[in-house]
Structure 1
Amino acid sequence: MDWGRIKTIFIIAFLILDIFLLTQLQVKREQYEVTADTTLEERLKADGIEYGDLPNETVKDHYLSADTMTFTKEMFKGLKDQHIQLEDGTIIHSQLKKSFPIEDFDKFLDLDKFVEENVLNGEQYAFWEYDKEDNSITYYQQVESKFIFMNQSAHIIFHLNEDGEVTSYDQTMLDPIKSISDEEEEVLLPIRAVEALYHRGAISDSEIIDVKLGYYTLVNMEATQVLTPTWHVLVEKDGERMDMLVNAYEGTVIQGKPDKEKTLLE
Structure 2
Amino acid sequence: MDWSKIKTIFILTFLILDVYLLFQFMKIRDADQYEFITEASFEEKLEAEEIRYKELPKAPIEDQYLSAKPKMFTKDDITKLKGQTALIKEPTTALIVKLDKPISLKTKFEAAELTPFIKDNVLYGSQYKFWKKDDKKNTIVYFQHYENMTLYENLSGMLTFQIDDHNQIVSYEQTYLEDIAKMTEKEEILPPLKALETLHQKGALMPKSKITKVELGYSTLIQLAASQALAPTWRFVVDDKESLYVNALEGQIIEFNSDGN
Residue pairs, 1:1-266, within 5 angstroms: 33=35, 35-86=37-88, 89-103=92-106, 105=108, 107-181=110-184, 183-204=185-206, 205-236=208-239, 241-258=241-258, 262=259
- How far has the Cα of 1:34 moved from its partner? 5.8
**Match of residue 4 from structure 2:** none
Query: What's the RMSD between the two structures over aligned residues?
Result: 2.2
Q: What secondary structure does 2:193 align onto? A: helix
- How far has the Cα of 1:33 moved from its partner? 4.4
Structure 2 distance, partners of 1:34, 1:145, is 33
Q: What secondary structure does 2:96 align onto? A: strand
Contact 1:67–1:176 (CA<8 Å) still a contact in 2? yes
Which digits, 9 at most, give the CA deviation of each residue in 1:87-135, with x for residues without a partner?
6611111111111122374541021221111111111111011111111
- How far has the Cα of 1:63 moved from its partner? 0.6
Between the aligned residues of both structures, percent identity stands at 36
TM (normalized to structure 2)? Answer: 0.81
TM (normalized to structure 1)? Answer: 0.80
Q: Show structure 1 runs of 5+ residues with no match.
A: 1-28
**Match of residue 28 from structure 2:** none
Q: Which amino acid aligns with 1:246?
A: V
- How far has the Cα of 1:161 moved from its partner? 1.5
Structure 1 distance, partners of 2:180, 2:232, is 14
Please say which of residues 29-38 and 157-166 is displaced more in the overlay: 29-38
Q: What secondary structure does 2:217 align onto? A: strand
Contact 1:188–1:248 (CA<8 Å) still a contact in 2? yes
Q: What secondary structure does 2:243 align onto? A: strand
Structure 2 distance, partners of 1:229, 1:34, is 26
Give 4+ residue runs of structure 1 displaced > 6 Å after superposition. Answer: 29-32
Contact 1:50–1:206 (CA<8 Å) still a contact in 2? yes
Q: Show structure 2 runs of 5+ residues with no match.
A: 1-30
Which digits, 9 at most, give the CA deviation of each residue in 1:24-52, with x for residues without a partner?
xxxxx999646522122221121121111
- How far has the Cα of 1:255 moved from its partner? 2.3
